[in-house]
Chains A and B, each alone.
Chain A
């Protein structure tokens, strides 16, 4: 067993961190995470600009086969995620680069790959995911948005919900029902791609609790999509979603973001005096920060193991569930600790009264984004219990 990175990896990882540190200098004030990308025009522009910066270095195609312009390995992609996470830099489209590209490599036809991969690698086309519906959340296969084949087109009707960034994205990958009569609800679903400017697509905001515009509901009324835009076979869309294993699942981006947050809190406690003594000397504060540091390092060690297993094609889905649950819930605890340490200022939004540009107030609310999306942590625990531990599946 060996945790050592090669000299080449150390060098490349440093390059990622150096570039991200530079990009971070241009960040709009108060920018953070996914909400930062989608909420404001400045945030979105910043995201697109960072994407271009990465694209020109070939970093949006890490781990791709070379015939599609790829370079490096999936471990390199993990290192880039560490760098963007630590510096809170956007630019990597979690939907296009993160989810769609690996899916296309796993199941798509050559024609689809040739059509859609280049604009992901160049950072020009940003994607959103239209999967969840008002009555199909954790039970995603209960989705009812219909697609009816008419000639060379599908005509799509229905409503999607919780669609992250749908108000900004250029294109969508959607799950639609093409066979309403299939004997199992997982059958008869199709994975399809379309332009968000297609007539009949209406996007309404679903504001987050902090008033940020991250999520949307998307209405699809007679949206006509070329039939050639399906990924995989018709009615086999559920299977396409199961190629999730190919996504980068280490969560190292979120974990590195927490390393940065911890450093900020340590600095804050060293500099802030209460009754003439630095907060850092308060034994309770020391104990709480140390406890969370231990948990953070534990998450990091497991994340590296997931990344290593994934790069060898040996990762089980429930392995990835473990690190998602643990690091996501750790993020909630970290945000709570941060707001506690800031005392009454922990509740302050970006303003002249705020510490850290009001970021802890945001993070306190945003941890749900990790813990509910992409399969809630309760669903992840089911996955672990059923597939990892062999316990009886819920009927």
Chain B
């Protein structure tokens, strides 16, 4: 056991932190929130130069061959800077499933494009029901000659507005169980019949409605096997949940640090408000839950990275951090007082993202239900 980061991991963390501090100040975050694309192609290009999109892609596909745990270190830093853009979508919903389930041809063609920053990916999972389980997948793909034709609507597809490829989760068969009969397709985002519209959301983070109007996709673009795609989606949502948690603990720590700094500086009744115990104990609690959140996430990330089965631990981390991130940022806004509610202040950027993070890859109650089964409650 060694619950500290290795020297290499510390270096990765430091370089990410330095890069993001320079490239992604909060003025940039606010600017990108109101930008049509929602990301900065210049920053994206520089990130590709640092090898970030290829971090977990093996060297033979032009990546850096690092671990999933290393990726979460990067994500924690991105969560600190709340960098807007298609990083998680491209890496966790694109590169990783292609790496795990793609054919050799798909890997050779697509992974280098991801690693070098040329292609943006995202995965279209949710449908208007908003369910992350297999019963929520109703968009149909029907075989027609050498193609499948996709018809239906996906929602909350992250950064689909700028994606080059969408991995669409479709139903190809009404099986015995909802999990049976699900197939994934890699769809060219510019293909005829793909229509994308940005949904206005709390984090202004470009979650999109994507309508597939009889979109023809060549059979060779199937990712994984016909009708057997659900486990790929599960692995994506599991890794996505950890990724979101990693970003969240980064954001929580910043919210705590900003609040402490503000309370040391803000003077009322002739003293810094941080000298009042009423506020000190709130900040102590904010720090405590940030600590518990961090190590719960680190442990889940380590298990995932090592290939140790961790469906329960990941669900626990997501269920827990969903709530702690919201609670910490709510307290942070409150302790900042009036100024904490303004558009110009940085703290509400985190408060809004905490809500967005909770909805991604499974809400608290969804995750708690997974936990309930895993701790042995019969269903």
A293 to chain B: closest residue by CB:
B375
Report whether A391 and B365 are in contact in the complex, using a CB–CB cutoff of 8 Å. Answer: no
Task: List the count of A-B residue pairs having beta carbons below 8 Å apart.
Answer: 157
A308 to chain B: closest residue by CB:
B3
Interface-centre pick from A269, A286, A309, A391 (highest chain B CB count, 10 A) = A391
Q: Which residues of B contact A267 (CB under 8 A)?
A: 376
Does B281 interact with chain A (Cβ within 8 Å)? Answer: yes
Report whether A294 and B371 are in contact in the complex, using a CB–CB cutoff of 8 Å. Answer: yes
Given A4-B1, A391-B264; A385-B292 close (CB under 8 Å) = no
Q: Which residues of A contact B202 (CB under 8 A)?
A: none
Given A381-B281, A390-B260, A392-B271; A266-B376 close (CB under 8 Å) = yes
Report whether B275 and A392 are in contact in the complex, using a CB–CB cutoff of 8 Å. Answer: yes
Other-chain contact of A1, B9, B271, B284 (Cβ < 8 Å): B9
Report whether B298 and A2 are in contact in the complex, using a CB–CB cutoff of 8 Å. Answer: no
A window 68-118: CB within 8 A of B? 75
Chain B nearest CB, measured from A272 CB (Å): 11
Does A270 interact with chain B (Cβ within 8 Å)? Answer: yes
Report whether B285 and A298 are in contact in the complex, using a CB–CB cutoff of 8 Å. Answer: no
A262 to chain B: closest residue by CB:
B375
Does A179 interact with chain B (Cβ within 8 Å)? Answer: no
Report whether B291 and A294 are in contact in the complex, using a CB–CB cutoff of 8 Å. Answer: no
Does B302 interact with chain A (Cβ within 8 Å)? Answer: yes
Give the number of chain B interface residues (Cβ < 8 Å): 50
Q: What is B's interface to A at a CB cutoff of 8 Å?
A: 1-6, 9, 69, 260, 263-264, 271-272, 274-275, 277, 280-281, 283-285, 287-289, 291-293, 295-296, 298-299, 302-303, 306, 313, 316-317, 319-320, 365, 367-369, 371-372, 375-379
Known: A1-B5, A394-B277. 9 other contacts (CB 8 A): A1-B6, A3-B298, A266-B376, A278-B378, A290-B319, A298-B296, A302-B295, A384-B287, A389-B280
Q: What is A's interface to B at a CB cutoff of 8 Å?
A: 1-6, 9, 75, 262-263, 266-267, 269-270, 278, 280-281, 285-287, 289-291, 293-295, 297-299, 301-302, 304-305, 308-309, 319, 322, 325-326, 378, 380-382, 384-386, 388-392, 394
List 28 A–B pairs whose Cβ atoms lie within 8 Å, in order of A's numbering: A1-B3, A1-B69, A3-B3, A6-B1, A75-B1, A267-B376, A270-B378, A286-B369, A286-B372, A287-B365, A290-B368, A291-B368, A293-B371, A295-B292, A297-B313, A298-B316, A299-B292, A301-B298, A304-B3, A308-B3, A309-B3, A381-B284, A384-B284, A389-B280, A389-B284, A391-B274, A391-B283, A392-B264
